[in-house]
Amino acid sequence: MKSRFKSRVVIGIAPLLVASALAISLPSSSFADSTGAQCSSELNSYLASRTSYLALPKPTASDYKILSALFVNAKNERAACLKEINASYNSQLQEIRAKYALLFKNSDKNLIASLKTQRDSELAEATLTRDNAMKNLPEIFTLPPAPTKTKKG
């Protein structure tokens, strides 16, 4: 009887040890915190120029050309930031899956169910972090209409 009790205690403690080891080695979600500041320099230039452009009584074609170039730069910066966020997210997913693949190989059947739950939880957390980082990227306002030529008549 005592040997059964000891094995139950060991099986009961094993998930706690694995869970604490996993909690220590969670991948960082630093991309969510850093991308917002990095992805707004071109956008701020575009927004300032857009405001100035809209305040002009008669904007010229050259003013519009400058504004449209800034708009393209802001769009490219945002696309680069989205690419960075997705690359970081994919590397997080690979780390999580590799970590759990190793744990699944070295675990008994009783522990695998709890490990799968923990893995799914970490995958969901990484996805939520990525979604929040994407949501926190600044929006790019559309270009105002181009100035029209007035006919002298």
**CB of 72 closer than 8 Å to CB of 43:** no
pLDDT tens for each residue of the chain, 153 residues long: 444 444 444 444 333 333 333 333 334 444 545 555 578 889 889 999 999 999 999 999 999 999 999 999 999 999 999 999 999 999 999 999 999 998 888 888 889 889 999 999 999 999 999 999 999 998 888 999 888 877 665
26: buried, middle or exposed (CB in 10 Å: 19+, 13-18, 0-12)? middle
Give the burial string for 103-116 (b: 16+ CB within 10 Å, else e): beeebeeebeeebe
pTM of the model: 0.68
